[in-house]
Amino acid sequence: MVGIFDSGVGGLTVAKAVLGELPSHAVVYFGDTARVPYGSKSKELVVQYSKEITEFLLSKKADVIVVGCHTASALASDELKRAYPKIPIFDVIKPGLVAAYKATKNKKIGIIGTEGTIAAEVHEKMLKQMDPSVKVFTAACPLLVSLAEEGWVSKPETKRIIKFYLRKLKAAQVDTLVLACTHYPILLKDIESFMSRRGKKITTIDPGVETAKELKLFLEKNPEYAKEKAENVFYVSDYTPRVDRIAKMIFKKPISFKKADLKTK
């Protein structure tokens, strides 16, 4: 099975992308809704949480792990790869950046994410390794998570906050924007509407989609992984009606969740 985890339920956008690319495979998802958000937490705590969740997913027979959370990808993916050297572990950072670099025409790439993701500066470093001439512009947009979870799509308040966060990136004339948070695709239309200039639509990159494509290629070459036939299972560490609402907003249909205690697995 493919194990996918996120700090909350925004990572369901990643799960949807994976299921879209791999309809014959099963996923086991864990959303850490009891401890969300990760973006304002220390690296040590994010690493601890990520290891606990990975152990949980492995106990549920996952043999491939996708770190769907951008903050966990930035702060904990290297630690996870060292801790579990025999388990294929995918993060959502590199696939999105490779796609962004291929897409940009003026080599001006924007990155938007949580405070923790942006502060880690992983995206800038990786893009500069690809091409030192690339100019990277970043913006932490913490309020967009709450707006996405509330379903405030196309509301005046949402548009004003997007303008506040992204105005500097628009002024810099970035032509490609990486949505470095699993919640942001929910607000895609509002983000693209603001960032487009004079009829020129900005290219937005959803790292979850790019990660799903990379995972598909890996499994085609390594069919011994994720071969177990099973039903998709979705776990959360704390269940509230909001979980159902967001899931339906992403999948366009109801999703059944199980509440999981990491201590008991």
234-249 mean pLDDT:
93
On whether both 109 and 141 belong to a single domain, the answer is yes
On whether both 121 and 194 belong to a single domain, the answer is yes
Query: Would you say residue 45 lies in a domain?
Result: yes
Given a cut of 60, is residue 264 above it in pLDDT?
no
Query: Would you say residue 179 lies in a domain?
Result: yes
On whether both 143 and 84 belong to a single domain, the answer is no
Query: Would you say residue 264 lies in a domain?
Result: no
Residue 181 annotated among the catalytic residues of the structure: yes
Domain count, the chain: 2
Which pLDDT tens digit goes with each residue over 79-111? 999 999 999 999 999 999 999 999 999 999 999
Q: In the predicted model, what is the mean pLDDT of the chain? A: 93
Q: What is the DSSP string of 4-30?
A: EEESSSTTHHHHHHHHHH-TTS-EEEE
Token output for 231: 């039903």
On whether both 136 and 50 belong to a single domain, the answer is no
139-143 CB contacts, 8 Å cutoff, 24+ apart: 139/110, 139/111, 139/112, 139/165, 139/166, 139/168, 139/169, 140/112, 140/113, 140/114, 140/115, 140/165, 141/112, 141/113, 141/114, 141/165, 141/166, 141/181, 141/184, 142/37, 142/39, 142/40, 142/114, 142/115
Predicted confidence band of residue 145 (pLDDT cuts 50, 70, 90): confident
Query: Would you say residue 222 lies in a domain?
Result: yes
Q: Which of 207, 220, 217 is nearest to 99 (CA)?
A: 207
CA-CA distance, 116 to 137, in Å (whole number)? 16
Range of the domain at 130: 94-207
Per the CB < 8 A criterion, the answer to whether 178 and 100 are in contact is yes
Residue 141 annotated among the catalytic residues of the structure: no
Query: Would you say residue 182 lies in a domain?
Result: yes
Predicted confidence band of residue 230 (pLDDT cuts 50, 70, 90): confident
For the chain, percent of residues with pLDDT exceeding 90: 82
Predicted confidence band of residue 265 (pLDDT cuts 50, 70, 90): low
Question: Is pLDDT larger for residue 149 or for residue 15?
Answer: 15
Token output for 162: 């997007």
Per the CB < 8 A criterion, the answer to whether 5 and 57 are in contact is yes
Q: Is the pTM of this model over 0.85?
A: yes
Kind plus residue range of the DSSP H or E element containing 231 = none
Q: What is the DSSP string of 144-171?
A: HHHHHHTT-TT-HHHHHHHHHHHHHHHH
Query: Would you say residue 265 lies in a domain?
Result: no
pLDDT of residue 36: 86
CATH code for the domain of 225: 3.40.50.1860
Catalytic residue among 14, 75, 93, 181: 181
On whether both 130 and 195 belong to a single domain, the answer is yes
On whether both 101 and 201 belong to a single domain, the answer is yes
On whether both 78 and 98 belong to a single domain, the answer is no
Query: Would you say residue 254 lies in a domain?
Result: yes
On whether both 167 and 112 belong to a single domain, the answer is yes
Which pLDDT tens digit goes with each residue over 178-200? 999 999 999 999 999 999 877 78
On whether both 11 and 78 belong to a single domain, the answer is yes
On whether both 110 and 195 belong to a single domain, the answer is yes
On whether both 84 and 59 belong to a single domain, the answer is yes
Catalytic residue among 1, 12, 27, 69: 69
